[in-house]
Amino acid sequence: MGEILGIGISHFPGYVHDDSDMAMRIKGILKSGQVPAELKEPKNWPAAMQAEWGEDEGASFATRHRAQFVESARKLRAAIDSFRPDAVIIFGDDQYENFREDLITPYCVYIMPEFRMHPYVWNRGDHFQPNVWNEPREQEFVYPGNVEVARFITKAALSAGYDMSYAYSLHHIKEQGLGHAFNNTLLYLDYDRAGWPHPIIPVHVNAYGSDVVRNRGLMNHLFSGEGAEADPPAPSPRRLFELGQALARALRQSPWRTVLVGTSSWSHAFLTKKNHWVYPDIPSDRQRFEDLQSGNYLAWRDLTLDQLLDAGEHEVLNWMPMVGAMHELNQKPSYSVLMETWIMNSSKCSTIIPPA
Percent of the chain with pLDDT over 90: 87
What are the DSSP calls for 36-84, one per residue?
Answer: -GGGGSGGGS-HHHHHHHTTTTTHHHHHHHHHHHHHHHHHHHHHHHHH-
Distance, CA of 39 to CA of 34 (rounded, Å): 11
- The whole-chain average pLDDT of the chain stands at 95
**pLDDT for res 222:** 81
From 239, 235, 241, 238, select the one nearest 212 (Cα to Cα): 235
Rounded to 5 degrees, what angle do the CA atoms 147, 151, 155 make?
175
Q: Is the pLDDT of residue 110 over 80?
A: yes
CB 314 within 8 A of CB 303: no
Q: Which long-range contacts (CB under 8 A, 24 or more apart) does 54-57 make?
A: 57/23, 57/27
CATH of residue 78's domain is 3.40.830.10
CB 108 within 8 A of CB 162: no
Please name the residues in contact with 137: beta carbons below 8 A apart, sequence gap of 6 or more: 118, 120, 121, 128
Q: What does DSSP assign to residue 230?
A: P
Q: Is the pLDDT of residue 342 over 70?
A: yes
Q: Tell me: the pLDDT tens digits for 177-215?
A: 899 999 999 999 999 999 999 999 999 999 999 998 888
pTM comes to 0.96
Mean pLDDT of 114-129: 80
Distance, CA of 2 to CA of 251 (rounded, Å): 6
Distance, CA of 162 to CA of 296 (rounded, Å): 24
pLDDT band at 172 (very low <50, low <70, confident <90, very high): confident
CB 97 within 8 A of CB 180: yes
CB 257 within 8 A of CB 83: yes
Three-state SS at 26: helix
**Structural domain boundaries enclosing 234:** 3-353
Domain count, the chain: 1
Mean pLDDT of 119-131: 76
Q: Tell me: the pLDDT tens digits for 8-21?
A: 999 999 999 999 99
**pLDDT for res 319:** 98
Q: Is the pLDDT of residue 226 over 80?
A: no
CA 20 to chain centre: 23
List phi, psi (to 5°) of 348.
-120, 150
Composition of the chain by helix, strand, coil, percent to 5: 40, 15, 45
User: Hey, CA dihedral for 336, 287, 209, 180, is it positive or negative?
Assistant: negative
Distance, CA of 160 to CA of 2 (rounded, Å): 18
Exposed / middle / buried, residue 21 (Cβ in 10 Å: 0-12, 13-18, 19+): middle
Distance, CA of 146 to CA of 162 (rounded, Å): 21
Q: Is the pLDDT of residue 76 over 90?
A: yes
Mean pLDDT of 330-340: 98
Mean pLDDT of 231-236: 95
Q: What does DSSP assign to residue 188?
A: H
Mean pLDDT of 135-153: 97
Q: Is the pLDDT of residue 165 over 80?
A: yes
